[in-house]
Amino acid sequence: MHDKTKALMKRGCDFLGTEYAILCGAMSWVSERNLVSAISNAGGFGVIACGAMTPDLLETGIAATKALTAKPFGVNLITMHPMLVDLIAVCAKHRVSHVVLAGGIPPKGSVDAIKAFGAKVLVFAPTLALAKKLLRSGADALVIEGSEAGGHIGPVATSVLAQEFLPELAESHVVFVAGGIGRGDMIAAYLEMGAVGVQLGTRFACATESIAHPAFKKAFFRANARDAVTSVQVDPRLPVIPVRALKNKGSEEFTAKQREVALLLDQGKVDMGEAQLQIEHFWAGALRRAVIDGDVESGSVMAGQSVGMVNSEEPVADIIQQLMDQSEAALAR
């Protein structure tokens, strides 16, 4: 079963210690003990989303996940977290095998601190030059993630990143591809280009084992690819971090808020720092509101363009088997 796919995934499986080189990318609030352990128990690789968690909460999350699976899983840390050093210490204490550094260039010393306790480090890189630099300075694997993905995104499509990065890096390095993958056919294509595996988020977010609120899941099942849009920046003075999410009332209110703050700025009623802070804080807590409270109108329903291929609640193991079957069929063709 799945011989061709597994042969192409071999390096990825060896690196992750899994049966399949399929990662479920960390999703804040969604990727907690239940989904993470389900992915790992099904032969994939689950990753705990640390997000803005405190070290204590992360510690609880790791211990709880270990209680649900004996298989390998990773922890995703956001590089600009003010307590990054303490979070790494928690990972060290619990002998976490893989740490994913997300959300920007890893600060000096962080890669070494993770490797010092024997864990493998996965990083993201927006450009080929930066990818080479990070790999030279000790990162063990790279995830290239295109703009089709859900959540915080870069500007370039996965298909283009794959063409830029894989021919240069795939032979000598461990490279996973993420963003916009909804079917196994696409997995087969990236494996054939040299990727050792893939990372999916959107496809797994509403699995049976996901604790996301029923309203959040329903919004996913109803949505088409074109509903998963990027946040729009209205004023060049007020930076907006690009996030892909389902368009809703919140997205409209965000546009209105930006106009309102820009006007206050023009009128001299707020200074630049305060204006930028107001924009930055608009979405604070919004993902939690959508995922946990089910507020899909004003919350942030982060989703990738592959959301159109997510139509019902399915157990993680079934999703993984479908992906593997589709990949194998594509490779057999």
Interaction site with ligand FMN (CB under 6 A): 25-28, 30, 49, 51, 76, 102, 145, 148-151, 178-181, 199-203, 205, 302-304, 306
Interior/surface letters 88-112, b for 16+ CB within 10 angstroms, e for the rest: bebbbebebbbbbbbeebbeeebbe
Least gap, CB of 180 to ligand FMN (angstroms): 5
Residue with Cβ nearer ligand FMN (141 or 205):
205
The answer to whether the CB of 188 falls within 8 A of the CB of 330 is: yes
Residue with Cβ nearer ligand FMN (17 or 103):
103
Residue with Cβ nearer ligand FMN (125 or 302):
302
d(CA 245, CA 287): 10
Least gap, CB of 26 to ligand FMN (angstroms): 5
- Bridge partners of 246, per DSSP, are 228
Least gap, CB of 71 to ligand FMN (angstroms): 19
d(CA 67, CA 260): 49
Least gap, CB of 261 to ligand FMN (angstroms): 26
Least gap, CB of 178 to ligand FMN (angstroms): 4
Residue nearest to ligand FMN (CB): 201
Residue with Cβ nearer ligand FMN (111 or 205):
205
Residue with Cβ nearer ligand FMN (15 or 204):
204
